Structure 1
Amino acid sequence: MSTTLTAVAAYLPETEFTLEEAAEVLGLSDQELKRYRRFFGLDRVRWAPQARQADLLVEALRRLPDLDAHRSRIRYAVHARTIEPTGPYAAQPLHEALAAVGLGHVQAFAISQHACASGLLSVDLAGRLLTADGDPDALVLVLTGEKTYPHVARFMPAAMVMGESSAACLVGLDGARDRVLAYTTRTFGEFHAITARSGPLAAQFEQMYIPALADLITDTVAAAAAGLTLADLRLVLPHNVNRISWTRLGRLLDLPLDRLMLDNIARTGHCFCADPFINYVRALELGLLRPGDHYLMASVGLGATFSAMLLRH
């Protein structure tokens, strides 16, 4: 049975911060600011200063179409995270968010093993859970999006600004649209210690990053039983780290830039595991996906885990 995206919704906070305003919060130098704008293609970031973690998840949940109709079918809820959850035992943002929308009875847990690629891992895991349960009508709720606490965000590599947009995705089996055709993930454990902004290890990672991602995307498309090639991809929905790396990857794979969904890089920043799903919603808003189109979601998480998922709309 095929894993299917039954519904996807995204929440973008109304409050926008310019790159200059974000630089003050994150302690970026003038030189870094210029590099972020000129080379990385960043311009603004969405933050919700008054919102808590649970609030971000609730906002995404409330945007899911027909949530009331699906509520009785949801068996599991997974919060795909980049950073492992911390805090008092009694403070459980995931459970709080689920209770707020009448899903407090659902078995819920978080995963962060693939860092920013945990969202795609969660979709794959959801399909495995549903297949094992044997109920063809059951659903799994995948939630993505986190708070960008400055003392944490400053430890991200200097190629992004973290945003607080979130997404919610209902995963089912054998739906009519958005079927998963292939999922590939690779972890390059030698880069597990990258947290600094420079150094030999970071330089090695930068050199291998684009070729490794290109190989992963090529292999994922080739893994589909339909005999697809890169030319059959209507869209690539990336993680919103920066524009320059995706531009270079497009050249390497001979993919036209209009097949790379890069609009949100400038307007949302990198939103942890939520990026591919936010980009999916944006693609639908712009009418870029038609029934039968093939598209690919891609994410890379610190660790370093590279993941790609091929789907048919």
Structure 2
Amino acid sequence: MNSRIGITHSAYYLPDKVGDVRNWAQLTGQSAACVTQLERAGVHYYHDAAGESVASMATKALDALLESSRLAPDTVDCVIYTHTLQSSVAPPPMSLPRILCDTFGFVHADAFSFAQQHCASALGALRMVRAMFIARPALRRVLLVGADAMPVASERLLDGVGLMSDGACVALIERDAPINRLLAVRTYASGLAWQGALGQQEPRLVAPHFLSARQLIMAVAVDAGLEPSEIQRVLPHHLNLPAWHRVISSLGMPQERLFTENFSRVAHVTVSDPIINLTDCAALQPGRPFLLFAQGVGGFSAAALLLR
């Protein structure tokens, strides 16, 4: 059954406080070699929540979407919250999805969280959302919300391939969407990359991570009945820009199809990168497919192919 769902609106929020990688390195005692490696990876700036809660950031992202979409709160059927960090939840007995429902008056919405796929959780949730639309014909609108804030400055470093930013995103997924229709979505997980088991060996698996990225992109294109060369733009997560250039080349795509504008400006906002890029990429052409991609620690990846 084809539910013909798509992302009709998206929005995001980034905290006002912006730091640069050199000041961060000085603050946390990092080496000059670390700075050089991060800059080669595409990192120059990051956003710092400076104590702002994930609930506040998620609320501001939702505010932006509701303002741009004119969505009536009582027409929302479901709210799904995703995150990477275990600290990005409301303290019990509170529930962050329920806080969002109460704040915005989503009186008819079911609400729950989806996590444990780390930075691939938001795109991974699209598989579940697609199944929900197929199983529940009355379902019309789902809000997918993601937010994370790293409270420890030194923990922002991601194996030298990126720097973690704080922020939030939201996507409105609707049945019979006229834009950004979901053609195919795939996820991938490999326990080989779990740091808890490997300790200091994990950096050796950076190359296999991007080999799996290439394989996942090819697989999701096959699912949609397309060749990778037909994908007009790739909207990636903001980690290891040089490796992304190699992935694009290996797929036979021109480099300009990789959306790179937010690597330097935004850095890596965990679950939010693909939705941030979808919101900002103004060059998407109607009637042509594009790809959202996310990858997280622990060997989790997700790719979604949509039709503009």
TM-score over 0.5 (shorter chain): yes
Q: Determine the structure 2 residue equivalent to 1:273.
A: 271
List runs of 5+ in structure 1 lacking aligned partners: none
| Alpha-carbon spacing, 1:290–1:87, altered in 2? closer, same or farther (3 Å) | closer
- In the TM superposition, what whole-angstrom CA distance separates every residue of 1:213-268 from its partner, at most 9, and x where no partner exists? 111101111110xx321121110000111311111212222222210011111011
Deviates more, 1:23-32 or 1:158-167: 23-32
Provide the C-alpha distance between the structure 1 equivalents of 2:281 and 2:156, rounded to a whole number of angstroms. Answer: 30
Aligned partners of 1:194 and 1:202 also within 8 Å? no
Give the one of 10, 14, 18 matched to 1:8: 10
2:58 is the counterpart of 1:57: yes
* Displacement of 1:206: 1.7
Structure 2's unaligned 5+ residue stretches are none
Partner-residue secondary structure (3-state), 2:233:
strand
Answer yes or no: is 1:96 the counterpart of 2:94.
no
CA distance in structure 2 between the partners assigned to 1:26 and 1:236 by the alignment: 33
Measured after TM superposition, the shift of residue 133 of structure 1 is 2.0
Equivalent positions of 1:217-228 (< 5 A) are: 217-224=217-224, 227-228=225-226
Deviation at 1:145, TM superposition (A): 2.2
CA shift at 1:27, angstroms? 4.1
SS of the residue corresponding to residue 234 of structure 1 reads coil
C-alpha distance in 2 between matches for 1:69 and 1:57: 16
Would the alpha carbon gap of residues 258 and 102 (structure 1) be closer, same or farther in structure 2, given more than 3 Å must change? same
- Name the structure 1 match of 2:302: 307
| Pick aligned residue for 1:292 from 287, 290, 301 | 287
Check whether the contact 2:9–2:69 (CA below 8 A) recurs between aligned residues: no
Does the CA contact (< 8 Å) of 1:163 and 1:269 recur in 2? yes
How far apart, CA to CA, are the structure 1 residues paired with 2:233 and 2:200? Answer: 34
Give 1:177's match in structure 2, choosing from 173, 176, 179: 179
2:131 maps to what in 1?
A: 128
Report whether the alignment pairs 1:257 with 2:259: no
User: How many residue pairs were aligned?
Assistant: 304
Choose the corresponding residue for 2:243, options 242, 245, 249. 245
Taking structure 2 as the reference length, the TM-score comes to 0.90
What amino acid is the match of 1:174?
Answer: D
Shift of 1:193: 2.7
Give the secondary structure class of the aligned counterpart of 2:285: coil
SS at match of 2:43: coil
- Mapped partners of 1:187, 1:107: distance in 2: 28
241 and 201 in structure 1: CA distance in 2 versus 1, 3 angstrom threshold: closer
Structure 1 length-normalised TM: 0.89
Instruction: Please say if residues 3 and 124 of structure 1, whose CA atoms lie closer than 8 Å, have aligned partners that are also in contact.
Output: no
Q: 1:160 to 1:27 in 2, by over 3 A?
A: farther
Is the alpha carbon distance of 1:106 and 1:23 closer, same or farther for their aligned partners in structure 2, counting shifts above 3 Å? farther
Over the aligned positions, Cα root-mean-square deviation in angstroms equals 2.2
Residue 166 of structure 1: how far off its partner (Å): 1.6
The correspondence for 1:32, drawn from 31, 34, 48, is 34
> Is the 8 Å Cα contact of residues 150 and 156 (structure 2) preserved in structure 1?
no
Question: Following the alignment from structure 2 to structure 1, what is the Cα–Cα distance between the partners of residues 132 and 26?
Answer: 44
Alignment of 1:181-200 (within 5 A): 181-193=183-195, 199-200=200-201
- Partner amino acid for 1:207? A
Q: What is the deviation of 1:104?
A: 6.0
Q: Structure 1 vs Structure 2: percent identity of aligned residues?
A: 23
What is aligned with 1:45?
Answer: 46
Which moved further from structure 2: 93-102 or 13-22? 93-102
What residue is the counterpart of 1:116 in the other structure? 119
